[in-house]
């Protein structure tokens, strides 16, 4: 199936920005790139061949923006949208009992409700054409838990349940919905989740994998058939150990991870490296 057009959300930084770059440069695609920060989108479009990146700035937590974004996709791609990439996501490191309810709602709106909304629109469009793909950027945290990331992990577990269910619904339709599930990746996501400002200095999380390598694996997944893909070197290992050795995995997480991630969170919020 020829794929030449894509809509990518969360395209201003990290995985989303690199996805746009690789889809344009390596796959020769035309991309509608969406994110909150227009200046970042404009700089991304300026880096790539003229006319290959169209931008739309707005907040995916706003249902009105999602309607406008979909209408823009239909305008930009009159021949049809081949690939929807639901990449946008937010997290916030905090003990669950201390989390602001407004933050809980925003995480669920961006990480779950927005992808469900756009995926529903895409399925209707793609089923009528008899072809198309929806890639959702999930996480290894859609399979395991992590201290101080309860809401984020819950949103990704829900996404994985959505993908599993749609696999059965869409069999024989020509439409593929799948999830790519990276481990921690080099981006500003980690520091922003700890409440720090985003920007060029807010880049690298400990033990993170290079974003270009992770995204290259994601892009290869477009040609595959898997419902769940694990890009990078560590993602499959983490999920595999949790599945095959659940008791040792839980023992390790019980004894090591709360203190480790609490210390990491406190270091990040204090501004130390």
Return the ∠ at Cα 244 (arms to 217 and 181), rounded to 5°. 25
| Spans of all domains in the chain | 5-239
Residue 197 CA to its chain's centroid (Å)? 20
Could you report the per-residue pLDDT of 47-67, keeping only the tens digit for each?
A: 999 999 999 999 999 999 999
Active site residues: 152
Rounded to whole angstroms, how far apart are CA atoms 268 and 18? 25
- Mean pLDDT score, 200-207: 51
| pLDDT given at position 237 | 84
pLDDT at 82 over 80: yes
Task: Tell me which CATH homologous superfamily contains domain 5-239.
Answer: NAD(P)-binding Rossmann-like Domain (3.40.50.720)
pLDDT at 194 over 60: no
125: helix, coil or strand?
helix
Retrieve residue 123's tokens: 């399925």
Could you report the per-residue pLDDT of 107-144, keeping only the tens digit for each?
A: 999 999 999 999 999 999 999 999 999 999 999 999 99
Could you report the per-residue pLDDT of 170-190, keeping only the tens digit for each?
A: 999 999 999 999 998 986 554
- 210, 194, 214, 195: which is closest to 263 by C-alpha? 194
| pLDDT given at position 1 | 62
Q: What is the pTM of this model?
A: 0.88
| pLDDT given at position 199 | 47
Rounded to whole angstroms, how far apart are CA atoms 265 and 141? 17
């Amino acid at each position: 199936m020829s794929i030449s057009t894509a809509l990518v959300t969360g395209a201003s930084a990290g995985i989303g920005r690199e996805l746009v770059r690789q889809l344009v440069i390596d796959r020769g695609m035309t991309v509608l790139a969406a994110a909150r920060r227009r200046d970042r989108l404009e700089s991304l479009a300026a880096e790539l061949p003229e006319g290959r990146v169209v931008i739309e700035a707005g907040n995916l937590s706003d249902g009105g923006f999602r309607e406008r974004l979909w209408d823009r996709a239909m305008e930009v791609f009159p021949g049809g949208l081949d690939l929807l990439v639901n990449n946008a996501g937010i997290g916030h490191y905090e003990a669950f009992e201390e989390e602001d309810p407004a933050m809980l709602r925003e995480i669920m709106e961006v990480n779950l409700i927005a992808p469900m909304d756009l995926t529903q629109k895409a399925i209707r469009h793609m089923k009528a054409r008899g072809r198309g793909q929806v890639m959702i950027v999930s996480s290894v945290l859609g399979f395991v838990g992590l201290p101080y990331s309860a809401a984020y992990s819950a949103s990704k577990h829900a996404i994985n349940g959505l993908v599993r269910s749609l696999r059965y619904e869409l069999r024989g339709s020509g439409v593929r919905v799948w999830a790519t599930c990276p481990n921690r990746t080099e981006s500003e996501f980690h520091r922003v989740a700890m409440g720090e400002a985003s920007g060029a200095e807010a880049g690298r999380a400990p033990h993170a994998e290079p974003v270009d390598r992770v995204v290259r694996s994601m892009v290869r997944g477009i040609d595959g058939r898997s419902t769940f893909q694990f890009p990078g070197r560590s993602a499959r290992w983490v999920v595999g150990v949790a599945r095959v050795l659940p008791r040792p995995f839980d023992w390790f997480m019980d004894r090591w991870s709360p203190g480790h991630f609490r210390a990491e969170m406190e270091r990040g919020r204090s501004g130390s490296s």
